[in-house]
A = this chain, B = another copy of it.
């Protein structure tokens, strides 16, 4: 499979300073963590992140100084960080340019991008400050891959009575990063459990990088193609990297790692300690085997999902 490459190659080939990036997954689930760490290690800067609800991968990228610009609905990691900590600090300190949308709005913008239509209507947000405040300045709005307007309100042309509709501009990120459970030897992607907005994000993008838990035979992935998520031709790079979403979870493979997420919260809250975290868990990591060794086989066994039930039954999640 010619698209198969290493983490290093995939990031080096497709992600540049200033790239617009969409992340698969959601808050604490199937975050493309291995890719995020590699982006940090390669010192890529000025990323423009386009997100619905994101947590761990986004927060690490912001904390490591890779992000210049952010369109987002939600920055949080469930009960482990109701608001993502480096995200919160970056906004409060004026370190990043940001623009708020809602989850449905961002998902619809990816849907529009995936359908190759320039905008999509919704009624969501009427009356809210999402439609009163613009985060991006006029200067930013002239830049590449930034919509010329946050939204447009128009009258529904199919009825005579007053009927306001919000038009949202499509999103077409430079690169979408996805972590999936299975990739077939033919390049077909299969995500198990919830897909969030991964499919729309992938189809909307110019480039799609997929990391995966397992590469499976063509005969297996094509036996029941109803279950598959993306055809091979939408995918540009495939990297096999088991536990590539740790410390976030991966349905039917492993749960989120509560110990790591709690530890992260403590480190993220303190600028100096956060540097130590990056040194220890990102910069200092030579390869993925070393990363998994640091997590420890003890914890890997604890978070191992029951493959039928999908999560780690009885895991201590405090």
Query: Which residues of A does B touch, CB under 8 Å?
Result: 108, 115-123, 147-149, 152, 154, 156-160, 163, 165, 167, 169, 192-193, 223-224, 226-227, 308
A154 and B157 contacting across the interface, CB-CB below 8 Å: yes
B149 and A157 contacting across the interface, CB-CB below 8 Å: yes
> Main SS of chain A's interface residues?
loop
Chain B contacts of A157 at CB under 8 A? Answer: 119, 149, 152, 154, 167
* Bound: A120/B158 CA distance, A: 11
Chain B contacts of A308 at CB under 8 A? Answer: 223
Chain B contacts of A158 at CB under 8 A? Answer: 118-119, 147-149, 152, 167, 169
A118 and B118 contacting across the interface, CB-CB below 8 Å: no
B119 and A156 contacting across the interface, CB-CB below 8 Å: yes
* Bound: A167/B223 CA distance, A: 39
* Bound: A154/B165 CA distance, A: 14
B119 and A193 contacting across the interface, CB-CB below 8 Å: no
* Bound: A122/B116 CA distance, A: 8
* Bound: A120/B120 CA distance, A: 7
* Bound: A149/B160 CA distance, A: 11
